[in-house]
Amino acid sequence: MSRDWHAWHAEYDDPESSLSRRLDVVRAQLTSTLADTTEPVRLLSLCAGDGRDTLPVLASTPARVTAVLVELDPELADTARASAHARGLRDVEVRTADAGTTSSCADAVPADVLMACGIFGNVTDADVARTVATLPSLLAPGAHVIWTRGCRVPQDPTEVVGDPSQAVRDHFADAGFEEVAFVRPDDASYRVGVHRWPRPGLPFRSGVRMFSFV
Ligand SMILES: C[S@@+](CC[C@H](N)C(=O)[O-])C[C@H]1O[C@@H](n2cnc3c(N)ncnc32)[C@H](O)[C@@H]1O
């Protein structure tokens, strides 16, 4: 495990923190995405943590959603499972697995909504490019990807000059995605993007390495 992800989640305890503000934005984007997506919806969350950006939204949306959350840390995965259970979400599966390989996504694709939050600031620039290029093989036509990227996060592995979220947007554009939303507050370092895949999905291949946390 690359970092203490339990300590990282503790920043959510402060409702004024940048991470809590980011959480509000991600939930709002997920809520509006689900409102615009044809049911039934398949959702896939990579590096899902304790699922707090997704599960409360699923509990309140009128949309019929089947979700798979992939999280490597067993305790965080257990917390996500317990959270789904407590909210009465029966169509949620939490996989304790490596989300960096497409093998962990088998039977959960093609997804209509893919969450990639808290990933791109923890992997190399090459892995960001590889991941975005691989996403169309995990997506249904018209699917949405909700992603985040901190600007100059601590121990940032990027070699990009300037705001690294711009490189992420460029990768999405190069891969053929359409930008639906991009949130860049003036007074905080988080960025949240939503991109739509407008074409038929590409064939799914198991065993493709997208990223590894540094
Ligand atoms: C920055 S946190 C983001 C959590 C959640 N997506 C959020 O935004 O609240 C990164 C998460 O990725 C998990 N993680 C790290 N490497 C992983 C991997 N290879 N596969 C699945 N999860 C991983 C960590 O345990 C941690 O929960």
Instruction: Tell me which residues have their CB closer than 6 angstroms to ligand 1.
Output: 5, 8, 47-49, 53, 70-73, 76, 98-100, 117-118, 213
- Give 141's contacts (C-beta < 8 A, 6+ positions apart): 197, 198, 199, 200, 201
> Which residue's alpha carbon is at the smallest distance from atom 1 of ligand 1?
118
The atom of ligand 1 lying closest to the CA of 122 is 1
pLDDT value, residue 161: 84
Q: Residue 132 has what pLDDT?
A: 98
Q: Determine the distance separating the centroid of ligand 1 and the alpha carbon of 50, expressed in angstroms.
A: 9
Nearest-CA residue for atom 19 of ligand 1: 98
Q: Is 204 helix (H, G, I), strand (E, B) or coil?
A: coil
- Number of the ligand 1 atom closest to the C-alpha atom of 49: 27
Long-range contacts (CB closer than 8 Å, 24 or more residues apart) made by 158-167: 158/121, 158/124, 158/125, 159/125, 160/125, 163/191, 164/120, 164/121, 164/125, 165/120, 165/191, 165/193, 167/125, 167/128
pLDDT of 177 reads: 98
Q: What string of DSSP letters covers 138-186?
A: GEEEEEEEEEEEESS-TT-----SS-HHHHHHHHHHHHT-EEEEEE--T
Centre of ligand 1 to C-alpha 118, Å, is 6
Other Cβ atoms within 10 Å of 161 Cβ, number: 8
Residue 191: burial class (beta carbons within 10 Å; 0-12, 13-18, 19+): buried
Atom 2 of ligand 1, nearest CA residue = 118
- Rounded Cα distance between 161 and 98, Å, is 29
- Counting ligand 1 atoms within 8 A of each CB, the residue from 5, 19, 212 with the most, and so the one to mutate, is 5
Cβ neighbours, 10 Å, residue 39 = 10
Q: What is the pLDDT along the chain (214 residues), one digit of tens a residue?
A: 568 999 999 999 999 999 999 999 999 999 999 999 988 999 999 999 999 999 999 999 999 999 999 999 999 999 999 999 999 999 999 999 999 999 999 999 999 999 999 999 999 999 999 999 999 999 999 999 999 999 877 778 898 888 899 999 999 999 999 999 999 999 999 999 999 999 998 999 999 999 999 9
Give the integer Cα–Cα distance in Å for 214 and 192: 21
Neighbours of 90 (CB within 10 A): 8
